[in-house]
């Protein structure tokens, strides 16, 4: 678990430093977001003593957090969007007959390419990278699992300009996440946890735009 946490902190720090150093003094949008998703979960627990336990089932996600975007409204080609927040993941109980769920903190980094920009809206598409950390919260065996989360995906979004200062932003995408961590049932029963999550999601953000983040503005 300690090694997993170190990996997560290094990834998160590098991504935050990249965002801060590359996007200073640019137009920005700041605000909050809410997100939901659905897809598939596959997980394995490999105890130090005993047989491996595997399961696959459907999942649902719900989350919220802080949103930051370097270009909500201008006609410039590129924007960088960062979403940092908490999520809950519930795994369908049909296969395991018990409550399997996770909580997680994640940082999503999205590089958008604007395809359409007008006074009313901006439409973009691009790849995304996720770094996060999750821990089990259910009553089944996942409650003792902790994992680093690394994910790749693609997204598309549209920012509707609400007057001169605000945006209502819609984003949809698909992610594939890799999970790697530990399972600690007791001092006498420990092991490795790994898995995979593939899902689609939909996000709504409300953003306040800086004075220079307007259609027709130059950076």
Give domain status of residue 215, yes or no: no
Integer Cα distance of 183 and 47 in angstroms: 8
Give domain status of residue 95, yes or no: yes
Give domain status of residue 93, yes or no: yes
Under 8 Å between Cβ of 59 and 38: yes
Query: Domain with 22 in it: what CATH number?
Result: 2.40.160.20
Please provide residue 141's backbone torsions phi and psi, each rounded to the nearest 5 degrees. -70, -20
Give which of 183, 131, 123, 189 is closest to 156, Cα–Cα: 123
Give domain status of residue 219, yes or no: no
Q: Output the pLDDT for position 1.
A: 46
Please provide residue 8's backbone torsions phi and psi, each rounded to the nearest 5 degrees. -60, -45
Number of domains the chain is built from: 1
**Residue owning tokens 């899902």:** 199
Query: For residue 212, what are the β-bridge partners?
Result: none
> What distances in angstroms separate CA 20 from CA 103, 137, 150, one per listed residue?
27, 33, 21
At 11, is the secondary structure helix, strand, or coil? helix
Q: Output the pLDDT for position 43.
A: 83
Q: Output the pLDDT for position 22.
A: 44
At 92, is the secondary structure helix, strand, or coil? coil
**Residue owning tokens 């259609």:** 215
Mean pLDDT by 10 residues, the chain (219 residues): 51 53 61 97 80 82 96 90 95 66 94 93 96 85 84 96 92 96 72 92 95 62
Please provide residue 212's backbone torsions phi and psi, each rounded to the nearest 5 degrees. -90, 0
Q: Output the pLDDT for position 26.
A: 56
DSSP 217: -
Give domain status of residue 214, yes or no: no
DSSP 96: T
Give domain status of residue 217, yes or no: no
Q: Output the pLDDT for position 70.
A: 92
pLDDT in tens, 173-191: 999 999 998 877 655 567 8
Give domain status of residue 162, yes or no: yes
Q: Output the pLDDT for position 44.
A: 83
Q: Output the pLDDT for position 145.
A: 83
Report the predicted TM-score, pTM, of the whole model to 2 decimal places: 0.82
Q: Output the pLDDT for position 75.
A: 85
- What is the span of the domain harbouring residue 164? 2-209
Give domain status of residue 216, yes or no: no
């Amino acid at each position: 678990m300690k090694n997993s946490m170190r990996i997560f902190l290094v990834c998160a720090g590098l991504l935050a430093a990249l965002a801060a150093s590359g996007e200073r003094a640019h137009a920005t949008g700041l605000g909050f977001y809410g997100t939901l998703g659905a897809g598939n979960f596959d997980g394995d627990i490999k105890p130090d003593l005993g047989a491996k336990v595997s399961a696959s089932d459907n999942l649902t996600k719900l989350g919220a957090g802080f949103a930051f975007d370097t270009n909500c409204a201008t006609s410039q080609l590129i924007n960088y969007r960062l979403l940092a927040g908490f999520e809950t993941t519930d795994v369908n109980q049909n296969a395991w007959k018990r409550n399997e769920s996770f909580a997680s903190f994640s940082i999503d980094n999205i590089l958008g390419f604007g395809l359409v920009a007008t006074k009313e809206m901006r439409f973009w598409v691009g790849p995304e990278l996720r770094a996060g950390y999750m821990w089990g919260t259910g009553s089944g065996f996942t409650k003792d699992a902790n994992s680093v989360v690394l994910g790749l995906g693609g997204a598309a979004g549209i920012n509707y300009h609400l007057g001169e200062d605000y945006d209502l932003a819609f984003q949809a995408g698909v992610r594939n996440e890799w999970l790697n961590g530990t399972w600690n049932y007791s001092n006498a029963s420990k092991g490795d946890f790994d898995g995979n999550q593939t899902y689609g999601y939909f996000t709504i953000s409300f953003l306040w735009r800086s004075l220079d983040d307007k259609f027709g503005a130059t950076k």
